Chain A
Amino acid sequence: MEGSQSRGTPSNMNFTPKRAPNNLYRSYGTGAGLTSVRKGKLTSLKLPTSREVPKARDLSEKDPEQISKLTEKNWNLYYVTPLYKFLYTGLKSYSRQLSAFIVAEKQKGIAVEVGLETNFKVNFSIIQGLTEIEEDAEAVFIQICSKPKFATEATAETVVWSGWLSCVNCNTEYLSSLPPEFTCLPLFCANGAETMTALVTTWFQRTFDCNFGPLRIGSNSLCWLAAMWTGCEPEMGIRYLKLSWSLPCSPPLNVSFTVHPGDAWELWRSIRQDQVRMTIEEVDQFMSCIESHFFRHFKIHLSAGELIDVSTSLGSAHRDGKIKLMSSHYMSGILTLLTESAFVMMPI
């Protein structure tokens, strides 16, 4: 399903969402006669075998302040099913509703970990510049600030939680099968206390009849990211390429392999054929070269382990669905890849 030879078990393929799928979404499928949706058209959803080489385009040109909220933070990744009757004109109202929901839940005794005497202020906003194609929905940013209840106007608010929903280079086939009342923003990134993330996702689920689930980054995607980031070396400088594997022995062994950026780039460049597009075969070969250089020296098969982390000075990604973007350049390529992974998780 993922193009040529798979690199280890794509664990996110086996994930089944805990809750029942979106009820409203299903009823549209049968009632409105959109049989194509039910006919398993989605099972043909494939991860691409080639993609465009990311270009150094600074995404923050349009909206530098908003984009700066996305960089240099650790994000936990989730996928979310399409939102029913989500309106961009309603952002102010959503801000008030979510704020009220948090207060209500707090009074019920559900801990929010920030202390009893705090006020929460929620703000929904749009992030411009993330969409790539016409069908992409505009990204939505949610920020939750807190302020001690009896503080003066002058006291600064602290940001206690932030999150954003986006869709970059969406799957148009999937989108065309969606009824128009649905908005597709499948990639959800959250930063802050887990209890707060739970409150936000609960509110979304109740308000827009959608479902959230953790989005792990499969080994295949991590390899793509490694190659994509390496490709940034000549223009931006990645300072290092660090890959971490976990080997299944007892006690478990972690192997981290850090390559000099110039040498990583030389290796990648000598594998690459086309100027514009890069393929999964090239990525596989890149990883295979690194693994075999390792094997030459240590006689250990890294392929028996699992790739769990990739990092460069431009960003890092972890198998458990964590990502950090240090630069606003090249963001679009990475978000495209993550959006694809989120689409694969959409229930049928």
Chain B
Amino acid sequence: MEDSVIPFFEKTLQRIPSSSLKSILSEWGFLSAEQLQDLHFQQSKHILHNKVLAFCEENGMRIRHVIQLDMIYNHEYPNKRNWSVYQFSGREDDAVVLNMTEFSQKFKVNLKDLLRHVSIGMKKCEDDAVWIRVAWGDNFTKPNQFKPTYVVYQLQTPYVFISNLNVKHRPLLSQALVIATKHDEIKEIQLRGRCLKSLKDLVLRRYKQSFQTHQPKPLQERNSPERDQGIVHEHAKRLADLKEVATQTFGDGPLPKLETAVFKLETKFKDPENRILTNRPEPFRCAVKFSSPSFLESLKSLVTLGVASAPVSPLLSSIPQKARNHFVISERGPGVPSTPGP
């Protein structure tokens, strides 16, 4: 067995959580049924891994087998990676069904033409996505299997999700993708996150909520007989109102999971009340970064607490509406309010 296979295999194996080791090894199909039966999955990780390694050596495992295993793991646990979203342009109809063989051939040939040492894995998955794994070398060194780029091309859409792509390799990958899919070009859109499903939901507009920016249904209209019953009821009513506003704006269901939202602001500073920095023509340059395990959930929670005003600011509602989470806001940009703060 090649020298480089073992460390690559061990690293890949170590990442797999014990709970899913059995299912992933079964899906991999490289070990025979008897060998799988021989494994005791309750044993210590160390002993178990050694046994698996022994079986693999017996079966004559090669790099391409480990690549398959790595791809299965990443397909199962995509949220361990940071994904950037890219969009194709220039083709008439993305809904046309792609010829997988043709695509695969064109992509591999093109990439190998540009770079002598590159290792490519490709797999079509049931959710209509093509998973591509690229390990990069250069004209003199073998591909580095430890830092591969992952590409998920969502078929019948112009969207591609890419993880761990070096600036150096970007033009090579872009060219191969564009040629293989018969598009004109591919561009990165300003949407990034860990949750692949949420990113897909956002670009494919599967998140139905409108995120309205106009005043929601007036709440004062409701006749409330409790109004005279003291502060306790007023407070409860206020909380209920806020909750309703939050639900109207964000909907009831689960929100797409985004970990960050970044806004680069190049707007003027305005403070008519105190005349600070008045008539200053230059913009007040700053950058705002929101971080949270799920930014949209946090935002909904802030509305419920009354900390964020509803209707939600148009800058924030741009996130699901435009399926972006990185923005540059200039004076002419969308939704910059002309009225000063609180």
Contacts and interface: CB of A to CB of B under 8 A. Distances in A.
B82 interface: no
B292 A296 contact: no
Contacts of A299: 308-309, 312-313, 316
The CB with the most chain B CB atoms within 10 A, among A285, A289, A305, is that of A289
Contact of A263 (B286, B292, B305, B329): B286
Q: How large is the interface on B (under 10, 10 to 19, 20 to 34, 35 or more residues)?
A: 35 or more
B198 to A, nearest CB: 14
A256 B263 CA distance: 11
Interface in B293-312: 293-295, 297-299, 301-302, 305, 307-309, 312
A294 B287 CA distance: 10
Contacts of B341: 291-293, 295-296
A253 B315 contact: no
Interface in B264-316: 265, 267, 269-271, 274, 276-277, 280, 282-295, 297-299, 301-302, 305, 307-309, 312-313, 315-316
A251 B290 CA distance: 12
A259 B286 contact: yes
Given A285-B276, A299-B313, 10 more contacts: A247-B307, A251-B292, A251-B297, A255-B288, A257-B287, A267-B284, A292-B340, A296-B336, A296-B339, A300-B307
21 contacts: A247-B302, A248-B305, A248-B307, A249-B298, A251-B292, A252-B292, A254-B290, A255-B290, A258-B287, A260-B285, A263-B285, A267-B284, A292-B340, A292-B341, A295-B342, A296-B270, A296-B337, A297-B288, A297-B329, A299-B308, A300-B309
B302 A263 contact: no
B308 to A, nearest CB: 5
A150 interface: no
B44 to A, nearest CB: 26
A293 B336 contact: no
A326 B302 CA distance: 36
Contact of B291 (A256, A257, A271, A301): A256
A301 B283 CA distance: 22
Contacts, number: 120
B290 A271 contact: no
Given A253-B292, A254-B291, A298 B286 contact: no
Interface of A: 247-260, 263, 266-267, 270-271, 285, 289, 291-301, 304-305
A295 B288 CA distance: 12
B266 to A, nearest CB: 10
Lowest 9 CB-CB distances: which A-B pairs, in order?
A: A292-B341, A249-B301, A260-B285, A253-B298, A299-B313, A295-B341, A299-B309, A304-B307, A254-B291
A251 B289 contact: no
Contacts of A256: 288-289, 291
A270 B297 contact: no
B312 A297 contact: no
A247 B298 contact: yes
B284 to A, nearest CB: 5
Contacts of B289: 255-256, 258
B298 A257 contact: no
Nearest to A250: B301
B275 to A, nearest CB: 9
Contacts of B312: 299
B270 A260 contact: no
B286 A285 contact: no
A46 to B, nearest CB: 27
Most buried by A among B277, B280, B316: B277
Contact of A297 (B263, B271, B283, B308): B263
B298 A297 contact: no
Contacts of A266: 277, 280
A267 B342 CA distance: 19
A258 B263 CA distance: 10
A271 B276 contact: yes
A78 B270 CA distance: 41
B280 A297 contact: no
Given A258-B286, A266-B280, A292-B340, A251 B298 contact: yes
A54 B276 CA distance: 23
